[in-house]
Amino acid sequence: MTIKLHCFGESGHSYKAALALQLSGLDWEPVFVDFFSGQHRGKDYRNLNVMAEAPVLVDGDIRLSQSGVIQQYITDKTGKFGGKSEDKYEVLRWVLWDNHKLSSQVGMTRFLMNFLPEDKRPQEVIDFMQGRLKAAFATLENQLKGRDWLVGDAMSNADLTCCGYLFYDEPFGFDRKDYPNIDAWLTRISAMPGWKHPYDLMPGNPSDRA
Burial class (CB in 10 A: 0-12, 13-18, 19+), 27: exposed
Residue whose CB is less far from ligand GSH, 24 or 66 = 66
Size of the chain in residues:
210
Q: Which is nearer to ligand GSH, 92 or 183 (CB)?
A: 92
Q: CA 46, CA 86: separation in Å to the nearest integer?
A: 37
Coil, helix or strand at residue 87: helix
Q: How far is the CB of 41 from ligand GSH (least distance, A)?
A: 7
Q: Cβ(91)–Cβ(51) under 8 Å?
A: no
| Nearest distance, CB of residue 39 and ligand GSH, angstroms | 10
Nearest approach, Cβ of residue 40 and ligand GSH (Å)? 5
Question: Judged by CB, which is closer to ligand GSH: 55, or 173?
Answer: 55
State the minimum distance, in angstroms, from the CB of residue 108 to ligand GSH.
9
**Cβ proximity to ligand GSH, 181 vs 203, nearer residue:** 203
- Quick check: 137 and 179 in contact, CB under 8 A? yes
- Give the binding site for ligand GSH (CB under 6 A): 11, 13, 40, 52-55, 66-67, 99, 107
Q: d(Cα 97, Cα 158) in Å, to the nearest integer? A: 9
Q: What gap in Å lies between CA 27 and CA 42, rounded to an integer?
A: 28
